[in-house]
Amino acid sequence: SFGSVYKATLSDGTNVAIKVFHLQLERAFKSFDSECEILRNVRHRNLIKIISTCCNIDFKALVLEFMPNGSLEKWLYSHNYFLDILERLNIMIDVGLALEYLHHGHSLAPVVHCDLKPSNILLDEDMVAHVSDFGISKLLGDGDDSVTQTMTMATIGYMAPEYGSEGIVSTKCDVYSYGVLLMETFTRKKPTDEMFIGEMSLKDWVNKSLSGELTQVIDANLVRDEQSFFVKVDCLSSIMHLALDCCMESPDQRIYMTDAAAKLKKIKEKFLDDVSFN
């Protein structure tokens, strides 16, 4: 990581998060500049807000809004925390809308986050998700299909193949990471889990399960309750199909974030209808 995050309270009583950059790391300078450039120019309910910056020769920090419910990672993997299907759907819809905005929805050229993972999804007091950490994000040229190249590596397991092998960055890299994040959120298995070695990946594991073994891979806590069992399995199957559409090997075959967000909203609507009908 290029920085450490501290909780602080402003004089008016507002809690904030202060991200202090480790300036002994050369990448931290670029990381600070990248976050400032992007967060200064974007505004969306599902993106972390920058309140202020502090910058001099030997100290650089961002003052960010504080997220009292912590990260999606905490909610997925810590004991005594649980998210039901609807809560997970709402969080992933929020993330999808944030990415749709970054890729297609503002006056800047498209922004690629480049490091989507559960620890970078933060939750406010109402459990609304906010995408954070723009330290290795890229501002592309104009146009939805613009690409660039980078030497900066993202997190293993969430990286699109073309990013990992050639450093090629496009909005479709985020779509791939979003697909991995969808699978992880509903299976509670990290793409780096020790079971995924050799040829077997999280994506392959989920793909194989769709021929009738889906209940073997989804988070058992989601279907423990017998009520609406088949409705839940149907919903989870649709989510996994969408995740795989996001994770196609070739960037050209992946769907756009706009379509992914719209599809997930439809999956949620159908789920709510089916549950009430049941």
Give me the CATH number covering residue 263: 1.10.510.10
User: 199-238: per-residue pLDDT in tens?
Assistant: 889 999 999 999 888 999 999 999 988 888 999 999 999 9
Residue 251: how many other CB atoms lie within 10 Å: 19
Chain centre to alpha carbon of residue 100: 12
Quick one: average pLDDT of 21-46?
Answer: 74
How many alpha carbons fall within 13 Å on the CB side of residue 126? Answer: 6
For residue 38, with 0-12 CB atoms within 10 Å meaning exposed, 13-18 middle and 19 or more buried, which class applies?
buried
Q: What is the pLDDT of residue 108?
A: 67
Domain residues for 219?
72-277
Sheet (strand 59-65) strand order = 3-9, 15-21, 59-65, 50-56
Q: Are residues 7 and 55 in the same domain?
A: yes
Does residue 79 sit in the same domain as residue 118? yes
State how many domains the chain has: 2
Catalytic residue among 115, 133, 174, 219: 115
**82 with 195, same domain?**
yes
Distance CA(221)–CA(63), nearest Å, equals 37
Grade residue 18 by pLDDT with cuts at 50, 70 and 90: very high
For the question of residue 58 being annotated catalytic, the response is no
Token code pair at residue 25: 């790391």
Res. 156 pLDDT band, cuts 50 70 90:
confident
Claim to verify: residue 182 and residue 224 sit in the same structural domain: yes
| Cα angle 199-200-201, degrees, rounded to a multiple of 5 | 115
